[in-house]
A and B are shown apart, each in its own frame.
Chain A
Amino acid sequence: MIIGERKPIPEILTMLGDSKKVLVLGCGTCVTVCLTGGDKEAKELASLLRIKGYEADSLTVERQCELEFIYPLRERIQSVDAVISLACGIGVQALFEIDSEKNIYPGINTTFMGMPVKQGYWEERCWGCGDCIIHLFGGTCPITRCAKSLLNGPCGGSKDGKCEVKPDRDCAWQLIYDHLKKLNRLDWLLAIQPPKDWSTSRYGGHRKMTREDMLL
């Protein structure tokens, strides 16, 4: 899922400027699960804004990143001075696509694609590099989980199975070794991985995907 963190409230207030009538728009998908921008958080922010003197209301849609979910909100959006979107950056941009003249502000910082490892704790798991090779590494992505994104073995700096860059995280290559050992596939580690082609990732520019059979 996409993980985000709420922006500091003073930053949100600065963005709002002279706006008086504000709609706080939550998203019912990823940011609800990471407890940043769901219905509950939208209500809380709207409440805080009302205490601050704004005429604020909140609303949550199933997915802010899909136009069909936010088209029905056009009139509601037009009736306010500003919208604080608690969705990820995709949701904020989708709102701009339906009303580019409105003051729409991001209420959260979109941070990474990750998973809830335990209650109240999320960790990055995928960079979206566009060329998945997780199966070669026993189910642990070295691109994301190794601080140095190494593909041909550990850097040698880990200590007690922990990363030398971020000592509170497991060393990805320790996990890879442990998993492959369990699979009785340590021989896979002998294969030399070629330099990664980063053109499929963000470095290749703005990406897109098309399903010709689904186009109207």
Chain B
Amino acid sequence: MVIACDKSGYPAMIKYTTENSTNHELTRIIKVPCLGSIKESDILEALEGECDLVFLVGCPIDSCFHQSGSRFAQRRVNRINHLLEEAGIPKRAAISFVTAEKISEIKRTLDLISFTPVQEELKS
């Protein structure tokens, strides 16, 4: 599942999915006003189903349209991953900061996630 902010993340994701015939299974893209509005419980709720990864895409940290939304989201993603790891759950959240012009970060993050031991564990 992808959660993208409507200022940078969503346009970037649309461009990315249009330009790339990707192997990554991005099943749903949800548009939100700002990643700062995403709470830890929202991410966990998404992970309760069959979703193995919640991928947040938003504005670059220093130029977030809502000033601190991307920074807050990054902290929350880190905290969620810490909780998941502590609980021994092989699911993860990831975050990428992009602009509509610079979408290479999306591929880099997705590739990185695809080769983590966690994803290998999920595949097996």
Please report A residues at the B interface, Cβ cutoff 8 Å: 8-10, 13, 40, 43-44, 47-48, 50-52
B40 touches A40 (CB 8 A): yes
Name the distance in Å between A48's Cβ and chain B's nearest Cβ: 5
Whole-angstrom distance between the alpha carbons of A9 and B47 in the complex? 17
**What is the total of A-B residue contacts with beta carbons within 8 Å?**
37
B83 touches A9 (CB 8 A): yes
Whole-angstrom distance between the alpha carbons of A50 and B48 in the complex? 7
Binds A, one of B10-18, B25-33, B85-93: B85-93
B contacts with A, residue count (CB < 8 A): 14
A44 touches B44 (CB 8 A): yes
Majority secondary structure, B binding face: helix
- Option from A8, A43, A52 in Cβ contact (under 8 Å) with B89: A52
Please report B residues at the A interface, Cβ cutoff 8 Å: 39-41, 44-45, 47-48, 83-84, 86-89, 91
A48 touches B44 (CB 8 A): yes
**Could you say which residues of chain B place their CB within 8 Å of the CB of A13?**
87
Name the distance in Å between B52's Cβ and chain A's nearest Cβ: 11
A47 touches B41 (CB 8 A): yes
B86 touches A8 (CB 8 A): yes
B88 touches A51 (CB 8 A): no
- Option from A9, A10, A40, A50 in Cβ contact (under 8 Å) with B39: A40
B39 touches A51 (CB 8 A): no
Q: Which residue of B lies closest to A49 (CB)?
A: B87
Whole-angstrom distance between the alpha carbons of A13 and B86 in the complex? 11
- Nearest 7 pairs between A and B by C-beta? A47-B44, A9-B87, A9-B86, A43-B41, A48-B87, A50-B48, A51-B89
